[in-house]
């Protein structure tokens, strides 16, 4: 979604169908719906203006609230509820929304998106149920009929992307782009859209309506990509584009390993090369070398959990040749050195088992980035200590990376290094180390003193496992590699939701270096872990425009993957 003001995403009003649109790609490759070149956006609302103007509600308790970003929240669980918007004349379209069920009052309750609404009691809807099913249904005068059903794991507190398409008499529903339900029905020919709950509470965000009910398949990338290409607006299924290198464990692609696909990319290539990766766990070490720019890793299902690239080395793991141990960076499962790399809809992981080994050095890195202008979209990065290392080729070089709608977990210093990194609408999850007072540190930045921009967390949500004690996790500490006095950490958390696990004094010293000498700031955070104290430097309002995602990422070439 275009962003006109980085920290207040603009509400889109209904627009003419001739306007340039948002291409949706939620269809599976096997679905036989007619594709169009692009989809015009009829309507979109992300609620960042703080109100629900244009929506009409019935039942429940509706309000715009904060859940990482602004959302439309329905908090009642004692009856059915719905909110509707749009035009009664809309005919063929796709309505897409991010949906997070937060409570179910019973075993067969649901939250849903609505299409072709005639009234509060007559419409088509795609329902995500508490009994781990997804259903395509119609409601006529308050009486429901199930048109199609499927199985899906439903977890309260998790975000799902629901899309409901109506084209003539053809109906299609998808969840996270991967679970498709289809049906044919002629009950309703036109109508508006909506969201609904049935004895359930839920949050809704990023509601969009495209006038093309059949999304385009993924197009071939341009021959000469530009570094300012934006990541996709919604996680969606990504069938391999023409010319893609396909990886499949079952042998149905060009290669059975990811590294073999990388090896097949020509050195010093000048055009985007997409490596489409089919579902599976790929236990291998992967390196994208510096002489292979413009490489994309794309999971084909749209569900990041379906494609996992993982290994289990740690810093203290002995090398097979007896030459010593791997060291922290050497433990990396995935090393990304090529510029203009992108990753979408997959998982990077380091599965080193701390309990099964007695190493003095248990750092185990999932991803190290050294390339510049990297984009991660709907990517999970999993580990414990030192999960993600945004870095660069050397201390004199700044490398930038943008993480959008990602999930990153760990415990000690699990985002660390000298790179410039922006985390936008990500979930940053702290794991349990078994301590009631110190369960770790989110960041350990080592930003070079001449670089004004280290890590920015904007519109993120800091969460934790349920058994992690309150007031037990630090936002960060300053890392000075080998005592480097010119490594002055720069970290800003702004417009984010901080859980109760974050300490009231969230910054701490490291290896004899005071956190007060680092560049640590917060700005307009909310949540139980955001209480402002004397030990929490706040960014002045006058300085806030200088510390946006665009400012962090612009560099000398004006790179802007967020607009």
Give pLDDT tens digits for 157-179. Answer: 889 999 999 999 999 998 887 65
Number of domains in the chain: 2
- In eight-state DSSP terms, residue 12 is B
Whether 150 is in a domain gets the answer: yes
What pLDDT is attached to residue 222?
A: 31
pLDDT confidence tier of residue 241, bands split at 50, 70 and 90: confident
Residues 292 and 199 in one domain: no
Whose tokens are 């908090």? That residue is 75
Residues 310 and 198 in one domain: no
**pTM, to two decimals:** 0.62
What pLDDT is attached to residue 501?
A: 96
Whether 398 is in a domain gets the answer: yes
What pLDDT is attached to residue 290?
A: 98
CA dist 295 and 309 (Å) reads 16
- 26 pLDDT higher than 80: no
Q: Among 50-54, 199-203, 269-273, 532-536, which stretch is predicted with the lowest mean pLDDT? A: 50-54
Whether 452 is in a domain gets the answer: yes
User: What is the set of active-site residues?
Assistant: 413
Final residue belonging to a domain, choices 210, 238, 254: 210
Residues 189 and 304 in one domain: no
Q: Among 211-220, 246-255, 279-288, 516-525, which stretch is predicted with the lowest mean pLDDT? A: 211-220
What CATH code is carried by the domain that includes residue 496? 2.160.20.10
44-63 average pLDDT score: 91
Whether 189 is in a domain gets the answer: yes
Residues 320 and 417 in one domain: yes
Final residue belonging to a domain, choices 187, 210, 233: 210
Residues 162 and 307 in one domain: no
Pairing type for strands 160-167 and 170-175 reads antiparallel
Residues 205 and 283 in one domain: no
What pLDDT is attached to residue 41?
A: 75
Whether 485 is in a domain gets the answer: yes
What pLDDT is attached to residue 40?
A: 67
- 511 pLDDT higher than 60: yes
- 364 pLDDT higher than 90: yes
100-117 average pLDDT score: 93
Residues 331 and 467 in one domain: yes
Please tell me the number of Cα atoms within 13 Å of 364 on its side-chain side: 26
pLDDT confidence tier of residue 235, bands split at 50, 70 and 90: low
Residues 203 and 286 in one domain: no
Contact 237, 177 (CB under 8 A): yes
Whether 16 is in a domain gets the answer: no
Residues 204 and 69 in one domain: yes
Contact 236, 26 (CB under 8 A): yes
Whether 227 is in a domain gets the answer: no
pLDDT confidence tier of residue 420, bands split at 50, 70 and 90: very high
Whose tokens are 């996709």? That residue is 232
- In eight-state DSSP terms, residue 131 is T
CA dist 481 and 134 (Å) reads 50
CA dist 13 and 53 (Å) reads 10
- Residue 64 belongs to domain spanning: 41-210
Mean of all residue pLDDT scores within the chain: 87
Final residue belonging to a domain, choices 194, 210, 226: 210
Residues 192 and 286 in one domain: no
What CATH code is carried by the domain that includes residue 194? 2.60.120.560
- The model's pLDDT over 115-157, given as tens digits with 9 standing for 90+, comes to 999 999 999 999 999 988 899 999 999 999 999 988 888 888 8
Whether 27 is in a domain gets the answer: no
- 27 pLDDT higher than 90: no
CA dist 120 and 238 (Å) reads 35
Residues 362 and 497 in one domain: yes
Residues 206 and 350 in one domain: no
Total residues found in the chain within this entry: 563
In 3D space, the residue among 13, 6, 1, 39 whose CA is nearest the CA of residue 233 turns out to be 1
């Amino acid at each position: 979604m275009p962003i006109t003001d980085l920290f207040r995403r603009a509400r889109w009003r209904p627009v003419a169908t001739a306007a340039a649109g948002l291409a949706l790609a939620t269809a599976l490759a096997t679905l036989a719906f007619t594709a169009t070149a692009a989809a015009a956006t009829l309507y979109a609302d992300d609620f960042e203006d703080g109100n629900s103007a244009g929506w009409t509600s019935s039942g429940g308790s509706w309000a715009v609230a904060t859940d990482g970003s602004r959302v439309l929240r329905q908090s009642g669980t004692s009856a059915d509820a719905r909110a509707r918007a749009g035009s009664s004349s809309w005919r063929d379209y796709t309505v897409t929304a991010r949906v997070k069920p937060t409570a179910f009052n019973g075993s067969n309750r649901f939250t849903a998106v609505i299409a072709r609404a005639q009234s509060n009691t007559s419409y088509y809807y795609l329902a995500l149920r508490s009994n781990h099913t997804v259903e395509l249904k119609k409601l006529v005068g308050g009486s429901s009929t199930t048109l199609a059903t499927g199985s899906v794991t439903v977890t309260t507190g998790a975000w799902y992307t629901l899309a409901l398409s109506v084209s003539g008499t053809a109906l299609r529903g998808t969840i996270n782009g991967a679970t498709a339900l289809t049906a044919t029905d002629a009950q309703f020919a036109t109508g508006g859209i909506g969201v609904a709950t049935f004895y359930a509470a839920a949050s809704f965000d990023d509601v969009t309506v495209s006038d093309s009910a059949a999304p385009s398949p993924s197009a071939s990338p341009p021959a000469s990509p530009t570094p300012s290409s934006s990541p996709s607006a919604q996680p969606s299924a990504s069938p391999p584009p023409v010319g893609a290198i396909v990886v499949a464990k079952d042998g149905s692609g060009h290669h059975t390993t990811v590294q073999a696909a990388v090896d097949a990319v020509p050195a010093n290539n000048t055009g985007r090369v997409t490596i489409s990766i089919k579902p599976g766990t790929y236990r291998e070490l992967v390196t994208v070398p510096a002489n292979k720019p413009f490489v994309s890793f794309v999971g084909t299902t749209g569900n990041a959990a379906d494609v996992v690239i993982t290994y289990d080395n740690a810093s203290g793991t002995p090398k097979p040749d007896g030459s010593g141990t791997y060291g922290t960076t050497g433990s990396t499962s995935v090393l990304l050195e090529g510029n203009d790399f992108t990753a979408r809809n997959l998982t990077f992981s380091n599965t080193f088992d701390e309990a099964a080994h007695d190493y003095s050095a248990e750092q185990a890195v999932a991803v190290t980035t050294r390339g510049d202008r990297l984009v991660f979209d709907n990517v999970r990065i999993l580990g414990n200590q030192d999960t993600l290392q945004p870095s660069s080729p050397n201390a004199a070089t700044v490398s930038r990376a943008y993480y959008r709608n990602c999930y990153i977990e760990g415990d000690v210093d699990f985002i660390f290094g000298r790179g410039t990194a922006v985390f936008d609408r990500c979930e940053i999850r702290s794991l349990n180390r078994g301590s009631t007072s110190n369960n770790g540190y989110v960041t350990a930045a080592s930003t070079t003193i001449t670089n004004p921009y280290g890590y920015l967390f904007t519109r993120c949500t800091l969460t934790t496992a349920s058994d992690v004690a309150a007031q037990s996790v630090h936002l960060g500490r300053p890392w000075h590699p080998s005592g480097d006095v010119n490594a002055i950490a720069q970290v800003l958390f702004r417009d984010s939701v901080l859980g109760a696990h974050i300490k009231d004094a969230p910054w701490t010293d490291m290896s004899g270096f005071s956190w007060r000498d680092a560049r640590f700031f917060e700005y307009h955070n909310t949540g139980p872990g955001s209480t402002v104290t004397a030990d929490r430097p706040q960014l002045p309002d006058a300085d806030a425009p200088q510390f946006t995602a665009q400012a962090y990422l612009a560099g000398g070439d004006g790179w802007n993957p967020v607009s």
